[in-house]
């Protein structure tokens, strides 16, 4: 497998009159061709910011960014705005969380898909329109020909999210970034959309970055996962390895807060106390330690680099053995073991 | 759509009726004897009596209103006391200059205001934005007749590019007509544009913060396309609404501007009628403008569907 | 550990005053308004006789006796401009006050009474369908001429706007939990209005009153310019501009003095209104990143 996208030493600071906020701290990862990589974490952990940084959609001026984001041989951080526009919607497609508000309410869905094709493929109106029709078929929208004329408000949430996917994929991008694509949808529709993304990934041989806070989504869809906390990747690895041997206090907490996974016992649902800290400078120790029930005094000392737990499975946690031992009897972990 | 239009017109009927009652009482319920007022200070009792009879002032008020309103429905607004001509005829004669001036103003306004509002929203909180908004507050604050004389002084008196005043009818060539309304239309448009530019900016700012604009950016669309095709169309309804509301101000402005530039339109007719105390004309003209305004606002409501498909008739 | 609580500074009092104090535009506008008010009050001290006709010096250039020259009747332009401040300010402030008093009273009633509200709304619909300046011109010409007439004629078309604004605010305030609670524990009508309804309307009303003041100043100038309402004898900026029309080509500067003063006054009031509305509106213009 070759890497489609590779992010190295990405650091990002937002600056405003109240000071600076460190949003991303030494983020490095790569995305293989045909892979679904899931970014997991609470809101504010940096997963959406990572996506916006890849898209080049961070507000100019206030964001200070360093490192590299390579799409093939090109470093996206070296591109100017016009060059970035040629990447967005063309080589990287993006699907957003809320399909109810993410489509333009005053244009037909056909027009909204066709305009991407016209923009990036230089297609004429007719060709773009037939491509739009093709895409609606591809995302399994029934009666696609008539739906071209539909306005977003005439479609259900699930249908709108399919339109969003059709739009993002209309130019055959190498990478699809899906930012919480199912959070706003009904449970049954969620499953359909995730299934669709999985199928399209194979059909179009693209790579997918799936951003979610829902471990259930990760378990059912992703190949590999990256757990983020306060701007850092705290644990990463193939989904089955992370689930079968959780090796970070935060991952353990996320697993334990997952409702009804293979169990009817709601009493197992626990929440992680506290909230994601906002950092105004780099903290050398573990940022999760204040909320972590496994933390010891050592956790506040400068952290070593992430260490290998198993093949392709890395964690930042120095207490990973203790974490795993404590959680090894958890039903999810047992189910994946 | 048609049922909606019918409903809208039906709901306007009581408003028109109220307006008519209002205008009628305004003229007829004022302290003092209207006939004496109308006849002027130097009238003989006989002259007063003639006027009293001609205006049916000897009959009870409700009867007079019913007669007046009934006639108005048949487009008969009575006769001018001054020229003895039917009021509707007087209005019809003066319609062209006012209409040309209003249309020219409207076009100029949209051409000036909408781009300024869009640019200000796009460059929000920069000096460009602040400059445009300062210009808007300024031209909103300078009364239309002050702007009018300023423009007349610069472009007509000093540069001699355009006529100082007067109106050339369309029959004498459209170019000459346009030259004659250029300055008054510009003066009016500056005031009106200030209002529209502010609303366009506010509405655009609202839209630009919406999620679908982020989607449009993620699609790699050009800034111009995002602003014009996606944001502006979404921002259209409030802008159109304010254009409709602004028509009331515009009509007031037309009245003043026609006096400044000596244009023989309905505005002049109104002012002349008021100074001559020609009340049938005053009543008629105010009723005419009010009904026009109500119709314009119905048209504005209908036009929402052009901008927003969620608005269905 | 570096867990930084997002430090939200809490200013319980005075952010408004401090914000305005720091703002140069506000200071300038207020200074200008104060100067005009002082000029209006002390006009007899500052300027000469605005009514004295001096045919020998018609349209004369600035001189010691008349620093802005003389008009077509030989009257002192500076003196007329200074005295003209009185009409503009009197009309502006009076209309703002009248509009506020009647607008709030009727608006609160319309917001609290269901049937009364519906009737008031239809009436304001009808009044707002008549172009305001036409209504004012008609009123002013029909009633007896005078300053009071002008004030009433201009205030009447302004009131419906205020009524609708107040009513919408009252409807919003009324549905808030603390007010519903106050109603449910049987707070008496007047106490309810005084303690719960009125405070909520003050901000928008203040802004609207400022704008009403600005448009009243323009409207009074329009009336004087068209020769309706107050006698052309009484010095007013609009009247001065009407006088200057006949000599516009020869002596355009006679148009300039009252025109600029009028524009500056309206501008100052409008800027105050804008800043007031920015300060009172918590939704500041957001940053976009296109």
**B227/C132 CB distance under 8 A:** no
- B122 in contact with C at a CB cutoff of 8 Å? yes
Q: Is residue C229 part of a domain?
A: yes
Edge-to-edge order in the sheet of strand A74-75 = A19-32, A3-16, A63-71, A74-75
Among C134, C270, C274, beta carbon nearest to B286: C134
Over residues A125-139, the mean pLDDT reads 92
Supply φ then ψ for residue C74, to 5 degrees: 80, 20
Q: Is residue C59 part of a domain?
A: no
pLDDT band of residue C22 (cuts 50, 70, 90) is low
Cα C89 to Cα C112: distance, rounded to the nearest angstrom: 34
C226-264 pLDDT, tens digit per residue, is 888 788 788 889 888 888 888 877 778 888 889 899 999
Cα C117 to Cα C103: distance, rounded to the nearest angstrom: 13
How close A282 gets to chain C, by Cα (Å)?
9
| Residues forming a β-bridge with A95 | A178
Strand A19-32 versus strand A3-16 pairing type:
antiparallel
Characterize C230-249 residue by residue with b for buried, 16 or more Cβ atoms within 10 angstroms of its Cβ, and e for exposed.
Answer: beeebbbbbbbbbbbbebbe
Nearest chain B residue to A53 by CA distance is: B218
Q: Is residue C138 part of a domain?
A: yes
Q: What letter would DSSP give residue B164?
A: S
ipTM score above 0.95: no
Contact criterion met (CB below 8 Å) for A225 and A254 = no
Cα A198 to Cα A220: distance, rounded to the nearest angstrom: 10
- C125 in contact with B at a CB cutoff of 8 Å? yes
Cα B97 to Cα B259: distance, rounded to the nearest angstrom: 12
Q: Which residues contact C271 (CB under 8 A, 6 or more apart)?
A: B137, C25, C26, C29
Q: Is residue C13 part of a domain?
A: no
Q: Is residue C9 part of a domain?
A: no
Chain B CB contacts of C129 under 8 Å are 15-16, 19, 290, 293-294
Bigger pLDDT: A285 or A337?
A285
Contact criterion met (CB below 8 Å) for C269 and C219 = no
Q: Is residue C27 part of a domain?
A: no
Chains that touch A (3 or more CB pairs under 8 A): B, C
- B208 in contact with C at a CB cutoff of 8 Å? yes
Q: Is residue C57 part of a domain?
A: no
Q: What letter would DSSP give residue C162?
A: H
Among B214, B230, B233, beta carbon nearest to A96: B214
Edge-to-edge order in the sheet of strand A92-95 = A92-95, A175-179, A207-212, A36-40, A224-229, A232-238, A313-315, A307-310
Domain count, chain C: 1
Task: State the pTM of this model.
Answer: 0.83
A189-220 pLDDT, tens digit per residue, is 888 899 999 999 988 889 999 999 888 889 88
Parent domain of C183: 37-50+65-280
- C63 in contact with B at a CB cutoff of 8 Å? no
- A52 in contact with B at a CB cutoff of 8 Å? no
Q: Is residue C55 part of a domain?
A: no
How close A314 gets to chain C, by Cα (Å)?
24
Predicted pLDDT of residue C184: 78
Contact criterion met (CB below 8 Å) for A50 and A27 = yes
Cα B104 to Cα A84: distance, rounded to the nearest angstrom: 43
How close A102 gets to chain B, by Cα (Å)?
4
Note the helical H segments in chain C: 15-22, 24-41, 43-46, 77-112, 114-129, 132-142, 147-174, 177-184, 189-192, 198-226, 237-245, 253-280
CATH number at residue C242: 1.10.3720.10
Q: Which of residues 92-111 of A touch C (CB under 8 A)?
A: none
Cα B2 to Cα C234: distance, rounded to the nearest angstrom: 55
Over residues B238-262, the mean pLDDT reads 86
pLDDT band of residue C203 (cuts 50, 70, 90) is confident
Domains, chain B, ranges and CATH? Answer: 2-73 (no CATH), 95-276 (1.10.3720.10)
Contact criterion met (CB below 8 Å) for B306 and C141 = no
Characterize B267-280 residue by residue with b for buried, 16 or more Cβ atoms within 10 angstroms of its Cβ, and e for exposed.
Answer: bbbbbebbebbbbb
pLDDT band of residue A270 (cuts 50, 70, 90) is low
Among A101, A116, A119, beta carbon nearest to B211: A101
How many beta carbons lie within 10 A of that of residue A13, not counting itself? 21
pLDDT band of residue A269 (cuts 50, 70, 90) is very low
Nearest chain C residue to A81 by CA distance is: C290
Bigger pLDDT: C13 or A147?
A147
């Amino acid at each position: 497998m070759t890497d489609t996208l590779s992010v190295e030493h990405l650091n990002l600071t937002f600056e405003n009159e109240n000071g600076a906020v460190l949003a991303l701290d030494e983020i490095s990862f790569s995305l293989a061709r045909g892979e679904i990589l899931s970014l997991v974490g609470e809101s504010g952990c940096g997963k959406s910011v990572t996506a916006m940084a890849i898209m080049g959609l961070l507000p100019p001026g206030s964001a200070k960014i360093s490192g590299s984001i390579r799409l093939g041989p090109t470093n996206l951080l070296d591109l100017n705005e016009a060059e970035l526009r040629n990447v967005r919607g063309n080589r990287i497609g993006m699907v957003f969380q809320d399909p109810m508000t993410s489509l333009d309410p005053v244009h037909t869905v056909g027009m909204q898909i066709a305009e991407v094709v016209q923009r990036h493929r230089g297609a004429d109106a007719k060709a773009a329109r037939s491509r739009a029709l093709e895409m609606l078929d591809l995302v399994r929208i029934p009666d696609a020909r008539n739906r071209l004329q539909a306005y977003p408000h005439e479609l259900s949430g699930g249908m709108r999210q399919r339109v969003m996917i059709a739009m993002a994929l209309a130019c055959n991008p190498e990478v699809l970034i899906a930012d919480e694509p199912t959070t706003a949808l009904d449970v049954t529709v969620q499953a359909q959309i995730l299934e669709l993304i999985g199928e399209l990934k194979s059909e179009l041989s693209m790579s997918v970055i799936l951003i979610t806070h829902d471990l259930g989504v990760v378990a059912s869809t992703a190949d590999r996962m990256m757990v983020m906390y306060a701007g850092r990747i705290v644990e990463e690895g193939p989904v089955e390895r992370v689930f079968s041997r959780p090796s970070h206090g935060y991952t353990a907490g996320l697993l334990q807060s997952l409702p009804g996974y293979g169990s009817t016992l709601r009493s197992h649902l626990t929440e992680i106390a506290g909230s994601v800290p906002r950092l105004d400078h780099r903290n050398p120790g573990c940022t999760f330690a204040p909320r972590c029930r496994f933390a010891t005094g050592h956790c506040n000392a400068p952290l070593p680099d992430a260490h290998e737990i198993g093949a392709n499975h890395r964690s930042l946690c120095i207490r990973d053995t203790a974490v795993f031992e404590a959680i090894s009897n958890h039903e999810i972990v047992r189910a994946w073991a | 759509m048609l049922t909606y239009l019918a409903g809208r017109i039906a709901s306007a009927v009581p408003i028109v009726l109220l307006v008519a009652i209002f205008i009628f009482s305004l003229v007829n319920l004022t302290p003092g004897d209207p006939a004496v007022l109308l006849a002027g200070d130097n009238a003989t009792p006989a002259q007063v009596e003639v006027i009293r009879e001609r205006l049916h002032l000897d009959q009870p008020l409700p009867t007079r209103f019913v007669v007046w309103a009934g006639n108005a429905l048949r487009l008969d607004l009575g006769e001018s006391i001054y020229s003895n001509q039917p009021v509707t005829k007087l209005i019809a004669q003066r319609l062209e200059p006012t209409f040309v001036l209003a249309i020219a103003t409207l076009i100029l306004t949209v051409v000036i205001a909408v781009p300024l509002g869009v640019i200000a929203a796009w460059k929000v909180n920069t000096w460009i934005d602040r400059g445009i908004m300062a210009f808007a507050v300024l031209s909103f604050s300078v009364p239309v007749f002050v702007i009018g004389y300023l423009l007349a002084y610069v472009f007509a008196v000093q540069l001699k590019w355009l006529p100082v005043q007067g109106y050339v009818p369309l029959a004498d060539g459209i170019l000459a007509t346009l030259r004659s309304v250029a300055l008054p239309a510009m003066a009016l448009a500056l005031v009106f544009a200030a209002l529209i530019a502010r609303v366009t900016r506010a509405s655009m700012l609202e839209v630009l913060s919406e999620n679908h604009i982020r989607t449009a950016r993620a699609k790699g669309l050009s800034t111009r396309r995002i602003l014009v095709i996606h944001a502006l169309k979404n921002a259209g309804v409030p802008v159109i609404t304010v254009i409709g509301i602004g028509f009331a101000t515009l009509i007031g402005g037309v009245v003043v501007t026609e006096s400044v530039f000596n244009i023989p339109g309905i505005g002049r007719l109104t002012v002349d009628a008021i100074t001559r105390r020609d009340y049938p004309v005053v009543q008629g003209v105010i009723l005419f403008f009010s009904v026009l305004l109500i119709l314009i606002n119905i048209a504005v409501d209908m036009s929402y569907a052009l901008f927003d498909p969620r608005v269905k008739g | 550990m570096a867990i930084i609580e997002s430090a939200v500074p809490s200013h319980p009092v005075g952010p408004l005053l401090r914000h305005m104090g720091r703002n140069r535009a506000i200071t300038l506008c207020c200074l200008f308004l104060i100067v005009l008010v002082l000029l209006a009050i002390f006009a007899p001290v500052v300027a000469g006789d605005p009514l004295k006709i001096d045919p020998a010096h018609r349209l004369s250039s600035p001189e010691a006796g008349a620093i802005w020259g003389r008009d077509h009747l030989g009257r002192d332009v500076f003196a007329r401009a200074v005295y003209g401040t009185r009409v503009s300010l009197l009309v502006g402030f009076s209309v703002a006050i009248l509009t506020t008093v009647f607008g709030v009273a009727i608006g609160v009633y319309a917001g609290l009474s269901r049937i009364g509200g519906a009737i008031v709304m239809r009436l304001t619909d009808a009044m707002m369908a008549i172009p305001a300046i036409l209504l004012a011109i008609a009123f002013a010409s029909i009633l007896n001429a005078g300053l009071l007439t002008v004030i009433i004629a201009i205030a009447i078309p302004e009131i419906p706007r205020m009524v609708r604004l107040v009513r919408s605010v009252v409807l919003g305030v009324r549905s808030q939990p603390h007010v519903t609670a106050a109603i449910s524990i049987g707070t008496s009508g007047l106490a309810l209005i005084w303690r719960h309804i009125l405070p909520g309307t003050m901000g928008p009303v203040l802004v609207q009153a400022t704008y009403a003041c600005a448009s009243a100043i323009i409207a009074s100038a329009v009336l004087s310019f068209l020769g309706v309402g107050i006698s052309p004898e009484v010095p007013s900026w609009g009247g001065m501009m009407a006088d200057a029309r006949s000599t516009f080509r020869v002596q355009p500067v006679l148009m300039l003095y009252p025109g600029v003063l009028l524009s500056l006054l309206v501008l100052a009031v409008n800027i105050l209104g804008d800043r007031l509305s920015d300060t009172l509106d918590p939704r500041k213009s957001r940053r976009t990143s296109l």
